[in-house]
Chains A and B, each alone.
Chain A
Amino acid sequence: MSKGRCLTVLVLVCFLAGCGTPRAKPEKPPLPEPVDVALAIFQDTDEALPRLNLSITVFDVESEIESSVYSSKAQVSSVERRFLPSMLKETLDRAGYWGAVRVMPQTDLNSEINVTGTILFSDGVELRLHVRAVDATGWVWLDRIYYDVTSDLDYSTDPNYRIDPFQDMYNLVSNDLSESLDSFTKLDRERLLNIATLKYARELSPETFGRYLSEDAGVTNLNGLPSKNDPLFERVQRIRESEYLFADSVDQHYESLHKQIGPTYAWWRYYSYELIEGNRRLTQIDATRGATRGSWYSMERVYKTYKESKMNEDALRELTNSFDRETEPTVADLAGSVVRLTGTLDRQYEEWRRLLRELYRDETGY
């Protein structure tokens, strides 16, 4: 057969096969079975170990939802990235292994351990998070993708849906972190505390404190310590104390956001779960059940089932829009006044750090 004929046949086959017909999406892998995880709680030991502070940076969202039809989902994501870190903070506080646990707008230079996260997927049924924890030396404590799937049981235990259905996931993150901490001896902890303090001091005055630390392949090593009576170092400690207060007030903003939108978010998530699960069940049932295949009755059944699923989608969209209307003022209010949340808080945070450096230079001349 000539090339021309081959091409003709190919094009005709494509045309007759219906190039415009729907293409099937690759099948989504089945969701994993939910696992119950109990939170490991700190047990007092004989040896008094120094506590480490931990800061959680506001989460990232993997993909921005640009489509304006679903723009309200972007609003949900914007709330989630602030809300979920607060859930993790609450869990870590409850576990009791840590010093101060704070939610911060960006990486906290003042903290011994920084936790960052990316929301990979969230819809009320499934939550996937990429969590990474790195300490002041640059050592990675945790770099893992967590997932959890809810079931009817998760939502049925609390009539107000305030118990987080993904609590197992936060418990697991907390347990992973505390497990890493368990391997830290008193000496390790003291070394980490010293490195964190000197990194903070180096930020203020690299000329004075840079020599106490060295970097090797992304890991910070301790070369020595300044004298305890060093007036410059004392000044750094004082500034650091005031930074703790600043960090606490930032953290409180996130906590109040958490309290205000918590109930609304919980309801949104529950309804989202119900609707998504409802549609999943619809796909599993035979829409023509009880009807003779090919009959008009069976066609009507098929259309009725389709209509039901679409009306569920409508309800979810309405719900998400409602979430948008109800939470936007809260977020905007927090963001607007004092430049408290989102980017403006970031800028404020940077401004704060710049002022601290200036203050240090004014006081010490370095």
Chain B
Amino acid sequence: MVIVRLLVRAILVALISVQVTAEAPNRHNVDFSGSWELDYQLSDHSSEKIRYLYVQAKAQAERAAERAQNSGRYVDPRIFNVQSVIGLGRLAEKIAQATVLTISQEDDHIVIKRNDDFALVCDFGEMGWKESAIGTEGCAWYEDQLAFQIALPEGLSVFHQFSIAADRSRVNVATTVKVSGLAHPFTLNRVYMPFEPGEGLFECTYTIANQTSCTLSGSNE
């Protein structure tokens, strides 16, 4: 009986702490604002990572198959699903393709614009899961890290976890792609460094009636 009580208490404490950690506001006052560009040197190289994880998974599968054979049991080789490492890796590569992040953060929200991709938006006052046009999505603070979670049909889940160095020299975005039924998710770390966006050749203004109209920089016309 004492064990049961302790177990109940432990689970409740764990549940409460998970909730609090996930739903706490930006209590570390983390600020991601700014323009960030990909640091190729520090970022994961997807092909290398895929190859490395593929070799590792293949070796693991072979060992497991050998153990199974030695014990006289039949093991379906498909359960090791080594090919899935490549599939997940390629998908993660496409999902984490952004090379430039433009982040604007206020007390109550953050908008992370990514080149050639959709913006990640988090309203700190309304964190948690929300239905989107397809699937569900949510955002949460995990201590000083900001996480975006997307759950899509076909059992596909995507997580983006943002963290920033104390000296604001780098932002790391860990993108994890997970497919239900596959044991190992694939994580790709992309590191971004700050940059000052320079003036482009054109100055463009977006207006509803005229759409985007651009003029040459410095031109009065």
A residues 1-31 in Cβ contact with B at 8 Å: 2, 4-5, 7-8, 11-12, 14-15, 19-25
Q: From residue 132 to 180 of chain A, which have CB atoms closer than 8 A to chain B?
A: none
CB pair B135 A306 closer than 8 Å: yes
Which chain A residue has the least Cβ–Cβ distance from B1? A4
- Asked if B117 lies at the interface with its beta carbon under 8 angstroms from chain A, I say yes
Q: Is the CB of A267 within 8 A of B109?
A: no
Task: Tell me whether B108 and A311 are in contact (CB under 8 A).
Answer: no
Instruction: Give per-residue flags for B76-100: 1 if the beta carbon is below 8 A from chain A beta carbons, else 0.
Output: 0000000000010011001100000
Which of A109-117, A226-234, A312-320 lines the interface with chain B? A312-320
In A306-334, the 8 Å CB interface with B consists of 306-307, 309-314, 317-319, 322-323, 326
- Given A264-B209, A307-B118, does the pair A300, B91 have CB atoms closer than 8 Å? yes
What is the count of residue pairs linking A and B with beta-carbon distances less than 8 angstroms? 123
Q: Within 8 Å of chain B (Cβ to Cβ): is A224?
A: no
B8 lies within 8 A of A4 (CB): yes
Chain A residues with Cβ below 8 Å from B203 are: none
Q: Is the CB of A8 within 8 A of B132?
A: no
> In the complex, A22 Cα to B152 Cα: how many Å?
11
Interface status of B4 (Cβ within 8 A of chain A): yes
- Known contacts A287-B153, A302-B156, A310-B132; is A296 also within 8 Å of B208 by CB? no
Give the chain A neighbours of B156 by CB distance below 8 A.
299, 302-303
B95 touches A68 (CB 8 A): no
A69-B152 in contact (CB<8A): no
Residues 130-142 of chain B, each 1 if its beta carbon lies under 8 Å from chain A, else 0: 1111111010000
Instruction: Identify which of B12, B109, B150, B151 contacts A69 (C-beta below 8 A).
Output: B109
Smallest beta-carbon distance B36→chain A, Å = 18
Distance to closest chain B CB from A265 (angstroms): 9
A268 engages B91 (CB within 8 Å): no
Contact B152 A67 (CB under 8 A): no
B121 neighbours in A (Cβ, 8 Å): 69, 317
User: Is B30 an interface residue when CB atoms closer than 8 A count as contact?
Assistant: no
Taking a contact as CB atoms closer than 8 A, the residue among B15, B109, B206 that contacts A19 in the complex is B15
A4, A279, A319: the one contacting B208 at CB < 8 Å is A319
Q: What is the interface of chain A, defined by CB distance below 8 A to chain B?
A: 2, 4-5, 7-8, 11-12, 14-15, 19-25, 66-70, 263-264, 267-268, 271, 279-280, 282-283, 287-288, 293-294, 296, 298-300, 302-303, 305-307, 309-314, 317-319, 322-323, 326
- Chosen A-B contacts, 12 in total, with CB atoms closer than 8 Å, are A4-B8, A22-B138, A23-B129, A66-B125, A67-B126, A282-B133, A282-B134, A283-B133, A288-B154, A302-B154, A303-B152, A309-B133
Residues of chain B having any CB pair with chain A under 8 Å:
1, 4-5, 7-8, 11-12, 15, 18-19, 22, 87, 90-91, 94-95, 106, 108-109, 111, 117-119, 121, 123, 125-126, 129-136, 138, 150-154, 156, 158, 179, 206-209
Leading 4 A-B pairs by shortest Cβ distance: A310-B118, A22-B129, A309-B133, A22-B136
